[in-house]
Amino acid sequence: MINNLPAKFNGKVYFFCDPREETKPEYKFQHLLICLAEGFRELGISLFSNVNYWQESTQENKYLFNHQPDITPDDCSIVVLTNNWFHINYPLPDNLSHPNRPYTTVYLDGEDSDKTYIERPEFRQFDFILRNHYNNKLKYAKNFYPWAYGLSNRILQELKEVPNSYERKNQILINFRHWKKGHPVRNFSASTFIPHIKNMLQVDNSIEHPDDHSTDPYHELQWLQTGKRHYPSYYNRLKNSMACACFGGFFVPAWPNDPGMLMNRIGKNLLSNLRLKSNTVVQWDSWRFWESLAAGCTTFHLDFEKYGLSLPVMPENWRHYIGIDLDNVQGTINRIADEPKILEKIGVQGRQWAIENYSPVPTALRFLETIYQQPITSTTQVSTLTNI
């Protein structure tokens, strides 16, 4: 049961999922929609969609999102799209912003680039834009709010039970899919942080090969639907590792502070090509960050405060994660050496924080609070996982 909802919310939400019928499921992964819809369902909110999407059972055609021809957006209080619509260069649904619409429009922007609103300015018309990779040092329009990849039930199921710290290997998982030619933040961490931490923790840099996925029907279905990102072996390595490196992103200049401006993008490329860093980072959020937290690993990332990384609910450095200052990596190494139990403590607290704030139900409640600009509570409890 949900409390404190405004009278104008009729308990119905309409999702525009990727409409391409001929495209394989692996190219239509919409994690942000899934997390939100799973939370709404637990809260008893009715979900409707333009297509059937996200098959939940290998035994039957049961979907999280269901198309009902007699229900249209005009029957709902909120309409949600995700950045798949921009990425596949589809036109927005007809009459999405018609003047008599009874619903609020929301765009979940998980796009890596900030060029969306220059290349397709019609995407600025949404009432709310919930932006992943939000940086509080940059300038966004008034309808922008920070958002996060967060945790879906698929991820939480794989990490439902995790070992205690004394059962884990004294190792750090460092196995990015995109490495030397990818994110400059990772390259800086490779040359500064990793040479020090490998003297304290063994490094596991093994990476799953797409051909090595599980043939179990459930896991194979998830592997296909997630764009070949679902590997039980990866989750097992996370659960058995003391720590995980989750660095990612690009350094951008402090000026100009509009991330969509050409000058800002030129500055970003210049910093990357010259292998220089700044104190402002974009494209920093990742599934890995949330998976690491939920697995109970000590999660290494940049210092959120120093580099402007912004979430709806912020983690606390040295409590929920370890945030690296690239100008003082040795300070981090010294503190870990001085406090040998700190990795164990942070892993436990980070897992609890992530699940309490970014599993589906709190994500859905936060979404409603953002849209209606008022506190909203529920009697529905966050799923209780063991060993928290």
150-166 tens-digit pLDDT? 999 999 999 999 999 99
Distance CA 363, CA 149 (A): 10
Residues of the chain with pLDDT under 70: 177-182, 381-388
Domain assignment of residue 261, yes or no = no
Q: Are residues 25 and 120 in the same domain?
A: yes
Domain assignment of residue 217, yes or no = yes
Q: Give, as one character, the DSSP assignment of residue 98.
A: -
Return the pLDDT at 387: 44
Q: CB-hemisphere CA count at 13 Å for 1?
A: 3
Residue type present at position 107 = Y
Domain assignment of residue 383, yes or no = no
Return the pLDDT at 179: 55
Distance CA 127, CA 243 (A): 39
Domain assignment of residue 211, yes or no = yes
Return the pLDDT at 178: 60
Return the pLDDT at 181: 60
CATH number at residue 169: 3.40.50.2000
DSSP assignment of 295-316 equals: TTPEEEEE-HHHHTB--SSPPP
Enclosing domain of residue 137: 2-150+359-378
Q: Are residues 131 and 226 in the same domain?
A: no
Q: Are residues 130 and 84 in the same domain?
A: yes
Domain assignment of residue 322, yes or no = yes
CATH number at residue 109: 3.40.50
Record the pTM.
0.95
Domain assignment of residue 41, yes or no = yes
Distance CA 50, CA 73 (A): 9
Q: Are residues 9 and 126 in the same domain?
A: yes
Q: Are residues 129 and 178 in the same domain?
A: no
Q: Are residues 114 and 204 in the same domain?
A: no
Q: Which tokens belong to 303?
A: 């210092």
- Give the residue carrying structure tokens 């090595």: 212
Q: How many of the other CB atoms lie within 10 Å of CB of 263?
A: 11
Contact 302, 137 (CB under 8 A): no
Q: Are residues 138 and 160 in the same domain?
A: no
Q: Are residues 165 and 296 in the same domain?
A: yes
Q: Are residues 190 and 303 in the same domain?
A: yes
